[in-house]
Amino acid sequence: MSTQQSLADLASLISLQATREGYSTSSLPGLGYVRQSASSPHECSMYEPVLCLILRGRKRTTAGPLDVHFGPGESLIVSHDLPVMSEVTDAPYLALILALDMDILGTLVDQIQAVDLDESESSSLAVHATDEALIDALLRYARLADNPIETAVLAPLILKEIHFRLATAPHGGMLRTLLRTESTEHAVSKAIQVIRTRYREALSVPELASRFGMSESTFHRHFRSVTGTTPLQYQKTLRLLEARRLISSAGFRISSAAYEVGYASSTQFSREYSREFGVPPREHANGASN
């Protein structure tokens, strides 16, 4: 079967499974879909390690200086937790989303390192044409949906194959680097987890750098090269994204949301919120007063 035929078969299957507008989840572990009937404006969100394979339409995703545009048959690999700006530039849009499991990748480290691959280029936000073997594995995985017995037996095996194919793909260089525990990219990943866990607290970059055996300047350089931003800006974006969720979905008052995510000043919060999202927090409020 040709790559184009496999891609067409996968698009047809996902079109049947993605029955509603926006993001929806499959019955299969880690699998989701995005369907949009119209293009969308730039929106800030947090991407965790993920594969995004576009089946229809086009998308643009940026993280600081990292900027990728991709369309049907191309896939995006995100290796780290990244705050990004993204927009659907061409619709109708249909994409398969698969959350990456670092534990599965860890079980494959010896096999992946045994493959002779080009390590000259790697990025935490990387796009490439998806090869037939990976599309075929994704198709076989998606076909397991709503079949509990086959899911229980076959899903772990196919997921392991998918992760192997991602880590050995041309745009899987950062995944391969991430598996080396002595790499700076691995250290940045661990630092990100610290920031995400303690994002409400005051962040000491020198202490964080020292914790991972780097000078402050070296840590800044490596952190920015992976995430496209600084540690303090990363923390700020985390705070604002959580505040947006609290205001829009959890019914928090604006002042309460600001305090909840670590702001001492509502004025500063509103100013930084407007700068991040292009509108003041009251535009996202879900019926709550200040």
Domain ranges of the chain: 3-178, 184-229, 233-284
pLDDT 10s digits, 102-114: 999 999 988 888 7
Query: What's the pTM?
Result: 0.93
Q: Is the pLDDT of residue 288 over 50?
A: no
Q: 4-13 burial by CB neighbour count: b if 16+ within 10 A, else e?
A: eebbbbbbeb
Residue 7 corresponds to which tokens in the numbers above?
A: 């891609």
Cis peptide before 29 (omega within 30 of 0): no
Identify residue 184 by its one-letter amino acid code: T
Distance CA 75, CA 72 (A): 8
Q: What is the pLDDT of residue 114?
A: 79
Beta bridge pairs of residue 127: 76
Compute the mean pLDDT over every residue in the chain, rounded to the nearest whole number: 94
Yes or no: is domain 233-284 CATH 1.10.10.60?
A: yes
Q: Is the pLDDT of residue 251 over 70?
A: yes
Question: In terms of Cα–Cα distance, which of 70, 52, 184, 73 is closest to 122?
Answer: 184
The phi and psi torsions of 116 (rounded to 5 degrees) equal -80, 105
**How large is the average pLDDT for residues 27-50?**
94
The phi and psi torsions of 94 (rounded to 5 degrees) equal -140, 130
pLDDT 10s digits, 117-140: 776 668 999 999 999 999 999 999
pLDDT 10s digits, 178-226: 989 999 999 999 999 999 999 999 999 999 999 999 999 999 999 999 9
Distance CA 10, CA 199 (A): 39
- Report the Cα–Cα distance between both ends of the chain, in Å, rounded: 59
Yes or no: is domain 3-178 CATH 2.160.10.10?
A: no
Decide if 151 contacts 163 (C-beta within 8 A): no
Beta bridge pairs of residue 99: 50
